[in-house]
């Protein structure tokens, strides 16, 4: 009997990774989640995501695959992507068909403080993933890039054919490097590869360092929200369900080698996954105020290093390739996020809200 498609999702205890795993579990696909569970933000939030996937925290140990209690065709392994020998062993044992590589050191501002964390995770870890996919060929390698690669691009909306060779944060530089590294492997070894540039993702189980989560906590706790560029900041906020829908549509659309004007092009594609509708941060704050029934204290500040005033995704290439259309309005998305936020901080220990 033909086995199910076996999919590796790295960063599976992270925000986007968690939701992708849940979507794959719902479709009863064979999925192995991988995460190192570091302390960039509260590990308890990561363990609670894994709990929702059916994994018992007490059973999690480095390098050991455990099965989900709710979906037996789903497994999880704690692993560091810089541990090349352990990664090689995992690929050898599991023989993955598809890899969705979402693990990375995130955060623009943190890259100003600790750039070496990005070298280790986003460069060394990414190279190890590419090499594992070369040694144990996969049918499709998908990886997370970021809207930050567009830097100070003044052409809007941002399209994948725009130049991205002047990143203004080290985080963005590592994501641009990932795209170039992945293209070289696609060209040299024929690995079908898709890069996904995510645009300001928000929703339930989100990261505490992201705007939506930070603002909600500040409002709830009566702390001041800092808005840079005097509040004139626009973001293409994309609800997590719309992001997952884009990822799921791309899973089965592995790029092929193409020929254009006598030039052979690698099986490599880049797509923006965004809402295609930027809004001012002040509008998000207003929706959070309404949902929390509490006024925000706002401090308007100058632009900070590494930041950009606007992000705006051109998603037409993704629409053409997959039929993708974002469906969640900011108002609806904020409502769903706050439903989770209120429930999570009601049931979790009080220090979580600190």
Q: Which residue matches tokens 């999880």?
A: 76
Give the model's confidence band at 349: pLDDT under 50 very low, under 70 low, under 90 confident, else very high.
Answer: very low
**Token pair recorded at residue 324:** 């993708």
Mean pLDDT, the chain, whole residue set: 93
- Cα–Cα distance for residue pair 119/125, rounded to 1 Å: 8
Stretch 122-135: mean pLDDT: 98
**Token pair recorded at residue 50:** 């894994």
Give the model's confidence band at 264: pLDDT under 50 very low, under 70 low, under 90 confident, else very high.
Answer: confident
Of all residues in the chain, the percent with pLDDT exceeding 90 is 83
User: What's residue 16's pLDDT?
Assistant: 98
Give the model's confidence band at 231: pLDDT under 50 very low, under 70 low, under 90 confident, else very high.
Answer: confident
Give the model's confidence band at 350: pLDDT under 50 very low, under 70 low, under 90 confident, else very high.
Answer: very low
Are 270 and 72 in contact by the 8 Å Cβ rule? The answer is no
pLDDT digits (tens, 9 = 90+) for 93-122: 999 999 999 999 998 888 989 999 999 999
Residue 353 has pLDDT above 50, yes or no: no
Residue 233 has pLDDT above 70, yes or no: yes
Phi and psi at residue 178, to the nearest 5°: -60, -45
pLDDT digits (tens, 9 = 90+) for 295-313: 999 998 888 777 788 888 9
Phi and psi at residue 240, to the nearest 5°: -55, -35
Residue 92 has pLDDT above 90, yes or no: yes
pLDDT digits (tens, 9 = 90+) for 316-345: 999 999 999 999 999 999 999 999 999 998
pLDDT digits (tens, 9 = 90+) for 169-192: 999 999 999 999 999 999 999 999
Among 182, 186, 210, which Cα is nearest to 196's? 182
User: What's residue 301's pLDDT?
Assistant: 87
User: What's residue 55's pLDDT?
Assistant: 97
User: What's residue 354's pLDDT?
Assistant: 33
User: What's residue 352's pLDDT?
Assistant: 43
Domains plus CATH for the chain? 6-206+238-276+313-321 (3.40.50.720)
Among 100, 103, 89, which Cα is nearest to 32's? 100
Is there a catalytic annotation at residue 171?
yes
Among 124, 121, 127, which Cα is nearest to 106's? 121
Residue 39 has pLDDT above 80, yes or no: yes
Active-site position among 171, 202, 213, 239: 171
Are 275 and 242 in contact by the 8 Å Cβ rule? The answer is yes
pLDDT digits (tens, 9 = 90+) for 266-299: 999 999 999 999 999 999 999 999 999 999 999 9
pLDDT digits (tens, 9 = 90+) for 191-229: 999 999 999 999 999 999 999 999 999 999 999 999 988
User: What's residue 305's pLDDT?
Assistant: 79
Please enumerate, as own/partner, the contacts of 146-150 that have beta carbons within 8 Å and a separation of 24 or more: 146/171, 146/172, 146/175, 146/197, 146/198, 147/197, 147/198, 147/199, 147/200, 147/236, 147/272, 147/274, 147/311, 147/313, 148/108, 148/172, 148/175, 148/308, 149/175, 149/176, 149/179, 149/197, 150/308, 150/311
Give the model's confidence band at 1: pLDDT under 50 very low, under 70 low, under 90 confident, else very high.
Answer: low
Question: CA dihedral in degrees (335, 341, 342, 343; nearest 10)?
Answer: 110
Residue 136 has pLDDT above 70, yes or no: yes
């Amino acid at each position: 009997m033909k086995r199910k498609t076996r999919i590796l999702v790295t960063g599976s205890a992270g925000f986007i990774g968690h939701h992708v795993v849940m979507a794959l579990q719902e479709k009863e696909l064979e999925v192995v989640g991988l995460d190192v569970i570091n302390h960039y933000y509260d590990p308890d939030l990561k363990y609670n995501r894994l709990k929702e996937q059916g994994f018992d925290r007490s059973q999690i140990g480095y390098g050991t695959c455990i099965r989900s209690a709710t979906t037996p065709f789903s497994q999880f392994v704690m692993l560091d992507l810089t541990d090349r020998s352990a990664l090689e062993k995992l690929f050898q044992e599991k023989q993955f068909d598809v890899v969705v590589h979402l693990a990375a050191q995130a955060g623009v501002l943190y890259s100003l403080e600790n750039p070496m964390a990005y070298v280790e995770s986003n460069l060394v870890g990414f190279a190890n993933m590419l090499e594992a996919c070369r040694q144990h060929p996969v049918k499709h390698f998908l990886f997370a890039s970021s809207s930050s690669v567009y830097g100070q691009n003044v052409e809007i909306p941002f399209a994948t054919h725009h130049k991205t060779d002047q990143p203004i944060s080290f985080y963005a530089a590592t994501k641009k490097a990932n795209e170039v590294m992945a293209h070289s492997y696609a060209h040299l070894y024929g690995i079908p590869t898709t890069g996904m540039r995510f645009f300001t993702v928000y929703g339930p189980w989100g990261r505490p360092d992201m705007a939506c989560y930070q603002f909600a906590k500040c409002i709830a706790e009566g702390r001041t929200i800092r808005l840079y560029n005097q509040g004139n900041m626009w973001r293409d906020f994309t609800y997590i369900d719309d992001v997952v829908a884009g990822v799921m549509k791309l899973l089965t659309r592995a790029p092929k080698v193409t020929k254009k004007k006598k030039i052979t092009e690698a099986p490599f594609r880049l797509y923006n996954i965004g809402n295609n509708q930027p809004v001012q941060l002040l509008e998000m704050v207003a929706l959070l105020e309404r949902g929390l029934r509490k006024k925000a204290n706002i401090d308007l500040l100058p632009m900070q290093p590494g930041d950009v005033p606007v992000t705006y995704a051109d998603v037409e290439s993704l629409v053409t390739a997959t039929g993708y259309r974002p469906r969640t309005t900011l108002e609806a998305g904020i409502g769903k996020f706050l439903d989770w936020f209120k429930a999570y901080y009601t049931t979790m220990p009080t220090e979580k809200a600190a």
